[in-house]
């Protein structure tokens, strides 16, 4: 492979590596639940709220980040964001009060919002549109691989050195990555894009016109609602409450439970590029999105409500749920294909925003349901939630997937093409 052929993969790869590494910070609370409860003297609702502080700015920044990516390009923005994300991890590590920890999680979410959109923007700048499904899947897959590392291996690190030193290590990794992004990543001129701003969205009027074009499309909203419902169980279960659920309902030790949850993310890491590639080869998006929602419903329901499942079967179901749930990555490709390429950054960002919004809401909602069914029993200074309380709280997740199956039926098929290509094909 020549440098000319390798360079696009390196540039996109470093953007995707930021998305990979920020997932360490995103899911870290799931393997620190008892430690954080004890340190900050909080219950399930407050811990869910602490974790969710990451998602509030993450969601709110998606459309602005897409606009900034379209206007300024990804290089400087990704460098800045990786520095801030690493620094906020260090601040979280030394937090002594809950409000400092919450502020740190807030800043983490703000800076991490640049990672996924930046990586996909690099993909749109350096690769042909026909590869967007594959690259969206690879990017999402790397993020989920980061989440898998953030569950199993990070739980081992927490057990050996404590949660504070673990967060210092995560922050150091992100700061090192910012240096590599600064050195190797660069923007590239393509049609409709310039280093000093896009002539289409580089003005307030242009941005508002582009945003209006996205928001007025009913298919934008259908795709956004679908991706939010499809991803909500992963965000709520795998990214926070899953480890505690397996500890309480199956009696696992914390590290074994974290290993089980990591199988979800390993499935995601393998399934995302696979489903993206299959979708690109088929030239269809919608059939695989329907299959994804149906299989996610089946395997999540088995994990939550099939009693006395052997550990091998349980881990297999977690893995298969992860593979099944990767229709989310196809939705990102749909988000980029519903609208012209000049506003692809904003369109993808809006879809990504929807994918985490419901999950951010469900983390404290599940915590609130747990608190509502708590009998007041304490163990080692923290609230003890029964297996029955966990099963009641988790009942909300299959409901999300049932609604997702219905919603996707109303989505328009893009045939893996943007608007101009579909018009050309029709004529």
Q: Does residue 295 lie within any of the structural domains? A: yes
Q: Which of 21-25, 37-41, 131-135, 205-209 has the lowest mean pLDDT?
A: 205-209
Share of residues in the chain with pLDDT > 90 (%): 47
Q: Does residue 204 lie within any of the structural domains? A: no
Which range in 187-201, 348-362, 393-407 is most confidently predicted, on average pLDDT?
393-407
Cβ-contact 295, 423 below 8 angstroms: no
Q: Which of 14-18, 110-114, 140-144, 340-344 has the lowest mean pLDDT?
A: 340-344
Q: Does residue 205 lie within any of the structural domains? A: no
Q: Does residue 73 lie within any of the structural domains? A: yes
Q: Does residue 203 lie within any of the structural domains? A: no
Q: Which of 4-18, 111-125, 127-141, 358-372 has the lowest mean pLDDT?
A: 127-141
The confidence band for 207, taking pLDDT boundaries of 50, 70 and 90, is: low
Angstrom CA distances, 283 to 133, 229, 276, stand at: 10, 24, 10
How many domains does the chain fold into?
1
Cβ-contact 81, 115 below 8 angstroms: yes
Q: Which of 12-26, 198-212, 222-236, 402-416 has the lowest mean pLDDT?
A: 198-212
Q: How many CB atoms lie within 10 A of CB 212?
A: 10
User: Per-residue DSSP letters for 263-303?
Assistant: HHHHHHHHHHHHHHHHHHHHT-SHHHHHHHHHHHHHHHHHH
Q: Give me the domain span that covers residue 113.
A: 3-186+211-426
Average pLDDT for 81-104: 96
Q: What is the CATH number of the domain that holds 405?
A: 1.20.1250.20
Q: Does residue 47 lie within any of the structural domains? A: yes
The pLDDT of residue 353: 80
The pLDDT of residue 202: 47
- Distance, CA of 85 to CA of 82 (rounded, Å): 5
Region at 308 (left for phi over 0; alpha for psi -120 to 50; beta for the rest): left
Residue 156 has pLDDT above 70, yes or no: yes
The confidence band for 198, taking pLDDT boundaries of 50, 70 and 90, is: very low
% helix, strand, coil for the chain, step of 5 = 80, 0, 20
**Angle 3-21-92 (CA atoms, 0-180°, nearest 5)?**
145
The closest of 300, 288, 290 to 233, measured between CA atoms, is 300
Residue 39 half-sphere exposure toward CB, CA atoms < 13 A: 21
The confidence band for 427, taking pLDDT boundaries of 50, 70 and 90, is: very low
Residue 167 has pLDDT above 50, yes or no: yes
pLDDT in tens, 317-347: 999 999 999 888 888 888 878 888 777 667 7
Q: Does residue 195 lie within any of the structural domains? A: no
Strand positions, DSSP E, 78-189: none
Name which residue leads in pLDDT, 82 or 420.
82
Q: Does residue 240 lie within any of the structural domains? A: yes
The first and second tokens of residue 250, run together, are 């199956």
Residue 269 has pLDDT above 50, yes or no: yes
């Amino acid at each position: 492979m020549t440098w000319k052929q390798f360079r696009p993969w390196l540039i996109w790869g470093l953007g995707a590596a930021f998305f990979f590494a920020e997932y360490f910070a995103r899911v870290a609370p799931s393997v620190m639940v008892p430690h954080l409860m004890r340190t900050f003297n909080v219950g399930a609702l407050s811990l869910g709220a602490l974790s969710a502080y990451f998602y509030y700015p993450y969601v709110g920044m998606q459309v602005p980040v897409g606009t900034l990516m379209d206007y300024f390009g990804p290089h400087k923005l990704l460098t800045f964001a990786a520095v801030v994300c690493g620094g906020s991890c260090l601040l979280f590590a030394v937090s002594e009060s809950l409000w400092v920890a919450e502020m740190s999680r807030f800043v983490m979410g703000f800076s991490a919002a640049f990672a996924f959109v930046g990586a996909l923007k690099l993909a749109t700048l350096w690769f042909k549109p026909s590869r967007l499904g594959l690259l969206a899947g690879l990017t999402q897959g790397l993020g989920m691989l980061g989440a898998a590392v953030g569950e199993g291996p990070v739980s081992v690190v927490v057990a050996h050195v404590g949660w504070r030193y673990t967060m210092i290590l995560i922050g150091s990794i992100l700061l090192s990555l910012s240096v590599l992004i600064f050195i190797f990543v660069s923007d590239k001129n393509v049609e409709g894009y310039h280093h000093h701003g896009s002539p289409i969205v580089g003005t307030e009027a242009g941005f508002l016109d582009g945003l209006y074009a996205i928001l007025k499309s009913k298919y934008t909203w259908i795709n956004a609602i679908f991706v939010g419902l499809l991803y909500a169980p992963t965000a709520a279960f795998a990214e926070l409450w899953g480890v505690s659920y397996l500890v309480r309902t199956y009696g696992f030790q914390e590290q074994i439970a974290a290993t089980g949850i990591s199988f979800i993310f390993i499935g995601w890491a393998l399934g995302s590029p696979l489903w993206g590639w299959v979708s690109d080869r088929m030239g269809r998006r919608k059939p695989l999105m329907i299959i994804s929602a149906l299989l996610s419903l089946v395997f999540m329901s088995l994990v939550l409500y099939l009693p006395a499942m052997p550990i091998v079967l349980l881990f297999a179901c977690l893995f298969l749920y992860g593979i099944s749930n990767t229709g989310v990555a196809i939705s990102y490709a749909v988000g980029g294909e519903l609208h012209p390429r000049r506003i692809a950054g904003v369109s993808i960002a809006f879809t990504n925003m929807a994918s985490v919004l419901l999950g951010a809401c469900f983390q404290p909602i599940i915590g609130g349901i747990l608190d509502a069914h708590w009998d007041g029993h304490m163990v080692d200074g923290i609230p003890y939630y029964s297996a029955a309380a966990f099963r009641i709280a988790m009942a909300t997740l299959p409901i999300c997937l049932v609604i997702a199956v219905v919603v996707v039926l109303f989505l328009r098929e893009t045939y893996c093409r943007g608007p101009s290509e579909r018009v050309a094909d029709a004529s």
